[in-house]
Chain A
Amino acid sequence: MAGKTDIARQFIEAIPHSKALGMELTDMGDGIAVIEMPYDEKLVGDPETGVIHGGAVSALMDTCCGAAVMSHPENPGGTATIDLRIDYMRAATPGQRIKATATCYHVTRTVAFVRATAVDEDEDNPVAAATGSFTVEGSR
């Protein structure tokens, strides 16, 4: 399924907002996706500490979860977010890139279920976790 993965990778890197945030898909396949986002001062939510805004982490999580759905072998086409919940466990360390890993752990004819975590350089200590459901398109 290298063809599908290549198409999905190109598709994700062609998303204007993901590109604007410098997101880079580093791994993808069989319902798992890894996307990294570099630290950038324009994403800061707290000017005093330089910590990235939760909203930018949301954008990363949403893109990564969508990529995981698209890479699942039972998903025939595109997808859209139905809902996404994000838990913020700690502030991301300023200056460090954030890496999200999403797993699409179940797909029905109509819905894909996904969970994800985001880490900075301290990979044992997640920054955020997400769970969501996504549409499965093109099957009925």
Chain B
Amino acid sequence: MREPRRKPEPVQVIKQRRDAMLRALVGGVPYISYLGISFERRGDELTGILPFDQKLIGNPLLPAIHGGVTAAFLEVTAIITLSWTYLWEDVESGAIDTAGLEAGELPRLPKTIDISTDYLRSGLPRDAYARARINRSGRRYASVHVEAWQDNRDRLFAQATGHFLMPPKRD
């Protein structure tokens, strides 16, 4: 005999939990707020958004976004996506409490070991977007690729590959 299927959770409960986790990850970091980076969530897919601002300019003659800002945007997107994926199961199962996250109890986050950024085109003075793909995530190390674009998803202006040290798992 088949077990009766569990009733699905109400959609607002799911949304509240996932949005709380995202806010906890992003909202607590001063440097992310300083650059103005936010994240949009579609299910478990995250897109980083960097709204254009005058203080992000690196070359006032062109003008173009500073290469360091581009590198930072890619690194932030990689770390947030990696943390998000790493915490996803524990938050979904209730092992990590949403109320704790909302109160600002942040779990330990991955640390960057190295990151290598390719500058493919100059960053134009307009909004930029980025998405990361986790190519491998082990117990200790993770390898993440991240792509950034502006007007057109197929015309990347930068990409990066980074290696990260995963936080020690509590038993």
Contacts and interface: CB of A to CB of B under 8 A. Distances in A.
A8 interface: no
A62 B30 contact: no
Q: Which 5 A-B pairs have the closest CB atoms?
A: A59-B68, A55-B72, A53-B31, A85-B116, A17-B66
B118 A83 contact: yes
Interface string A76-95: 00101111111110000000
B39 interface: no
B106 A48 contact: yes
A42 interface: yes
Contacts of B134: none
A56 B122 contact: no
Interface residues of A, number: 36
B160 to A, nearest CB: 9
Interface in B32-80: 32, 34-35, 54-60, 66-69, 71-73, 75-76
Given A44-B29, A80-B122, A87-B113, A55 B66 contact: no
A83 B72 contact: no
A45 B31 contact: yes
A55 B122 contact: no
7 contacts: A16-B56, A16-B58, A17-B68, A17-B69, A58-B68, A86-B114, A86-B116
Contacts of A43: 30-31, 34
Contact of B57 (A16, A44, A60): A16
A61 interface: yes
Contacts of A18: 58, 66
Given A15-B59, A42-B30, A53-B31, A81 B72 contact: no
A44 B31 contact: yes
Contact of B119 (A16, A45, A78, A80): A80
B101 interface: no
Contact of B60 (A16, A52, A62, A88): A16
B119 A55 contact: no
